[in-house]
Amino acid sequence: MFLSKCSAEMITFAAQSLKDGHLVAFPTETVYGLGADATNESAVAKIYKAKGRPADHPLIVHIASMEAINDWTSDIPEYAIKLARDFWPGPMTLVLKRSSLAKDFITGNQETVGLRVPAQPIALALLKEFEKIGGNGIAAPSANRFGAVSPTTANAVMEELLPYLDINNDRILDGGPCTVGVESTIIDCTSDAPKLLRLGAITKEMIKESTGLEVIDAVSNSEIRVSGSLESHYAPNAKVLLDQAPNPGQGFIALKEVQTPQGAIRLAEPTSIEEYARNLYAALREADARNLTEVCVTQPTGEGLAAAIRDRLKRAAN
C-alpha cells in the first residue's frame, strides 16, 4: 500500500524498498522527510526529481546512531562529539568534513556533509532496520516540492508529492503529526568554534552550554550551502504578511492571547511557542486548502524556538 501505517512488518518492507533504490517518506520529530539510500546515486536523483530541487543543494544524511559519524566524516572536533552526545537523537544537524562515503550527489559538490540522528521512534526503527540489511544512512530532505511549506503529516506529503512519486514502489509511512514542527538546527562544525547555519529547537544558548564555546551566528552569511538557507523558502501559495492586522477574508495566525479581528479567518491560535512551531506549517497549508490569497501572521517574540519560527516566516514572506 502506498500510504502505510507503521507496523514492524511495514518498516521492514520500507527498509528493503530503500535498499532496492526506491523512495520512502517517513516522519521525524521535525517534519516528514523524503528518504533514499544515501549511497545510491540513482535513488538520490529521484529525490531531486520529485522535489524539483536544484542539483547543487545538499541533502542531510540521517543515521541510526552517533557511532555512524565515523563512516561519513573525515574530521570530528571534540565539540561536535559533545553536541552529538547531548542532543542526538534530536532535532540537530551537524555539518562536518566529509569522508569518501559522502559523494558529490549528497553534498552538492561541497567538502562537507550534514548528519542527523532523529528522535522519532519510527524514523529510528527505519534507520536501524536499514542498517541491519546493509544500508548506511538515509538521505532525506523535507518531503515537499522545493521551496514550499514542509509537511508535518503523512497526508500533507501525499497531497503535495503524489504526482511525483512512483505509486508502485515508493512508500509513505504514516507516523502521525510531527512533534517539533520546524526543521532541525544546523551547526557547522568544520572550524574551531560552532557556527549556527539554521535556527531550530536546539538553540544558540544550548549549543554554547554544551560546548563551552562562543557560537558564531552564520545564518545569513555562510559559505556552506545548507537546506532551507534561501531567502525565499517554506512558502505557501498564499502571500504571507507579517505583523499586520488582517482584513476581513484574510487568514490569521497568532498566539491565542491575540484576538481575531472581525471577518478574519483564524487558522491557528497556539497557546505556547512549542505549539506555535508544531502547528505553523499545517496552518499555512490550511490557507492554501481554503484558497486564501493572503495570510497575516503575528510573530512570536523572544529567542530560542521563537527566533526559529520568525526565521521560517521571514523566508515564507519573501
String of b and e for 225-261 (b: at least 16 CB within 10 Å)? bbbbbeeebbbbebbbbeeeebeeebbbbbbeeeeee
Q: Enumerate residues 6+ apart whose C-beta is below 8 A from 17.
A: 23, 24, 169, 170, 171
> What three-state secondary structure class fits 200?
coil
Cβ neighbours, 10 Å, residue 79 = 18
Average pLDDT per 10 consecutive residues for the chain, totaling 318 residues? 75 96 98 98 97 92 96 96 98 98 96 97 97 97 94 95 94 96 97 96 97 93 73 85 97 97 97 98 97 98 96 93
CATH number of this structure's domain 3-217: 3.90.870.10
**What would the grid cell of residue 49 be?**
526529481
Q: Is 137 within 8 Å of 63 (Cβ atoms)?
A: yes
pLDDT at 3 (0 to 100): 65
According to the 3-state scheme, what is the secondary structure of 225-271?
Answer: CCCCCCCCCCECCCEEEECCCCCCCCEEECCCCCCCCCCCEEEECCC
DSSP code for 165: S
Cβ neighbours, 10 Å, residue 223 = 8
Phi, psi (deg, nearest 5) at residue 86: -80, -35
For residue 199, give the amino acid letter. L
pLDDT at 222 (0 to 100): 75
pLDDT at 50 (0 to 100): 97
CATH number of this structure's domain 239-317: 3.40.50.11030
Domain boundaries, given as residue ranges, for the chain: 3-217, 239-317
Q: Enumerate residues 6+ apart whose C-beta is below 8 A from 98.
A: 72, 73, 74, 107, 110, 111, 112, 113
> What is the rounded CA–CA span in Å between residue 131 and residue 135?
4
Report CA 275 to chain centroid distance, whole Å: 17
**Radius of gyration for the alpha carbons in the chain, expressed in angstroms and rounded:** 19
> What three-state secondary structure class fits 171?
strand
Q: Is 110 within 8 Å of 128 (Cβ atoms)?
A: no
Q: Is 151 within 8 Å of 281 (Cβ atoms)?
A: yes
Cis peptide leading into residue 89 (ω within 30°) = yes
Task: Please name which of 64, 303, 301, 283 lies closest in space to residue 201, comparing C-alpha atoms.
Answer: 303
pLDDT at 7 (0 to 100): 85
pLDDT at 268 (0 to 100): 98
DSSP code for 221: T
